[in-house]
Amino acid sequence: MNYTLPEHRYFKRDLSWLSFNNRVLQEAQDESLSISERIHFLAIYTSNLEEFYRVRVATHKAALEGKREEEELTNQGELIELLRNIQKEVARQLVVRQQIMEQHILPTLRKNQVYFYQSISEVPKQYNNFITHFFIQEVFPYLQPVIANKHWVHSFLRTDRLYLAVRVYRTEDIDKTDPHYYVIKLPYDKVKRFIELPQDNNTHSIVYLEDLIRANLHVIFPDFRIDSSYSIKTTRDADIMINATDSKQVVEQLKKGVSKRKIGDISRFVYDADMPIDFLKHLMDTYDIKERDLVPNEAHLYLEDLAKLPLPEYLSKNKVTHKPLFLIEKGKSIIDEIANRDLLLEYPYHSFDHFIQFLHEASEDPDTKSIMMTQYRVAQHSLVISELIAAAQRGKRVTVFVELKARFDEEHNMTTAQLMERAGIHIVYSLPKLKVHAKIALVLRNSPSKPSIGYISTGNFNEKTALTYADTALFTAHSRIVADLRHLFALLGSTRLANADRAQLLGNSTASHRDIKEVMKKVHFEHLLVAPLNLKVTLSALIEKEIQAAEHGEKAHIILKMNALQDKMMIDQLYKASLAGVKIELIVRGICCLIPGQTYSRNIEITRIVGRYLEHSRIWYFYAGGEEKMYIGSADWMKRNLYKRIEAIAPIYDSQLKEELYQMLQLQLKDTEKGTLISSNLIDIRKKNVQTQGKDAQNAFYDYLKGEMK
């Protein structure tokens, strides 16, 4: 079919992301959830928005000022329009967030005898003595008012800190002609943000720390008359630019970048919308805040702290809890089980203890020669790291490729890398030009009767996030997949092999297709799909096969589950497949730049799942003429994943495991509780008209896995 695709055929990436975050906000309105879960979604929404401004908006503003290159937008006019649209949509969402708090959350808390006071004036007078005493004893010693006047003193607002901006007048200034301005940093590293008042008649009362300070400003400024005070907060550019040519320079530049992150350029100045304009202008002048950085908000800012709201136990429990399932009975060897059959772990439904057990067994196995693993984000006090250190101490050769450039985890990754190095683990640091995002591990064994074992996952080696992120991981002793993993670790520099190939390709993110082909001739991945080597070309071939089948009147079907779909070339291929008649079902949690509901996308449907767990798996299904190919791995279909990261995708060969994944996809496509359809105007539409009403897919999949184990 000859069809020319229109020029404007993609959603803007940032507006699509805001659509996703709006869907998170909707969960806070869902009365089927416990009140603690709804409050938690409000906190997640706010935390997401904070990172969005620290990275995406900050990048756009830096590009506007010529401080950074902008990859996606071609001119300043387009960039200004995008920033304007972002501000408009964020302002709309913040109004909704405030309505949810006032009309849904607070009334529900009151019905349950929890009084979360939004102003000190609401607090009954019987608590006055407690508030005064608590302030004097627990808060006042940590307060340090700083003059906000650039002509008197140079003060600075740190990112991720909440301040009270205070306007006062000297007692003798009756006509209020000489205002004085101060900022006070809230000491929430010393005092909790939410102060619990003494219980009275089985009621639970909470006030904000900043409101308690407001009520006692006269103690802080004894020689002044208090005029007004308002919460303010800055968000600063958190992106770190790396222009290194070797791993040593990466470490050095990251250390400098992390130290400067707290003082980066302002990307957002959030303030209480009730602040008078003259007060606001004074702060703008003092801290060099531009008008485009202004984000008016409600009286209480930094609501990601709501995740720490102290609720009574009877309200803090979730309505539905899933006890992690165990694939292998306790006492049995997981390594022996994998040697006999491939295993799929579905976190958080399955316990992450299986992976810890795997490392422990490998560490104690006398036939284990070496253990290799990538590190992107690991937990604080990680059991994974502990097991790797134990293995090294037992004389095993342990190699860990540490990706230092994992945003906001740079310091933690550097610390854990140093800890492992001191314990005798061989550490390979970040590549200069590419980010290693693959989640892979490999245990090599000496005995011919005991196969080596590989692990490929969609999620990190992190036992904490494995409780809340929905991920999929494959354990396999398939000899060819294990061989591919060995080649990949060789390319990463985990062995002395293929150093020339590594330098040729992995040291240069702008390698040409000819360079890639030359490396592919030397390092051939027969089963794994590896970016930026054979991943994109294989995906293109798989889509093309479905197109050819559709054009011949044969069944053609693609199901793609991922976090984000942004790469324009891949989107165009999906448009082409849709025009050819291929049935395409997408499950995309976050960014999705493909526009559904158009002539060129009429056979494409996009589902979004936002539920109790963060959907994080990447699972791809192609009908492939009845062969039904299935893949799992670490890559989304974004430009950065396909061209600028090392990603690893594994095929699923076991028919039973294929069926398991297919059932998961079907449950998610039929989800009418947490599943929505993304419309052509970026609105999430509830699935109310589907013929088969499916329940919450996450609950249903847990039940499915539980049933399979009986």
Residues serving a catalytic function are 437
**By C-alpha distance, which of 620, 642, 641, 623 is closest to 631?**
620
- Take residue 349 and report the two structure tokens written for it: 């439904």
**By C-alpha distance, which of 59, 55, 52, 60 is closest to 89?**
52
In 10 A of CB 217, how many CB atoms? 20
The amino acid at residue 176 is K
Greatest alpha-carbon span in the chain: 92
Pairing state between β 645-651 and 435-436: parallel
The size of the chain, in residues, is 710
Phi, psi of 176 (to 5 degrees): 55, 55
Q: How far apart are CA 226 and CA 168, in angstroms?
A: 5
CA dihedral 199, 202, 208, 211 (to 10 degrees): -70
Q: How far apart are CA 306 and CA 122, in angstroms?
A: 19
| 591, 13 Cβ separation under 8 angstroms | yes
Q: How far apart are CA 117 and CA 106, in angstroms?
A: 9
Q: How far apart are CA 363 and CA 397, in angstroms?
A: 10
Helix (H) or strand (E) holding 439: strand 439-445
Sign of CA dihedral 346, 349, 350, 355: positive
Q: How far apart are CA 331 and CA 9, in angstroms?
A: 55
- The two counts, helices (H) then strands (E), for the chain are 23, 27
Q: How far apart are CA 490 and CA 180, in angstroms?
A: 64
CA–centroid distance for 60 within its chain: 20
Q: How far apart are CA 212 and CA 169, in angstroms?
A: 21
| 623, 556 Cβ separation under 8 angstroms | yes
Opening angle at CA 457, ends 439 and 532, nearest 5? 55
- Take residue 71 and report the two structure tokens written for it: 């990859």
The amino acid at residue 693 is Q
The amino acid at residue 300 is H
Secondary structure string (H, E, C) spanning 152-218: CCCCCCCECCEEEEEEEEECCCCCCCCCEEEEEECCCCCCCCEEECCCECCEEEEEEHHHHHHCCHH
| 471, 615 Cβ separation under 8 angstroms | no
Q: How far apart are CA 390 and CA 387, in angstroms?
A: 5
CB contact burial 433-469 (16+ within 10 A = b; e otherwise): bbbbbbbbbbbbbeeeebbbbbbbbbbbbbbbbbeeb
The amino acid at residue 546 is E
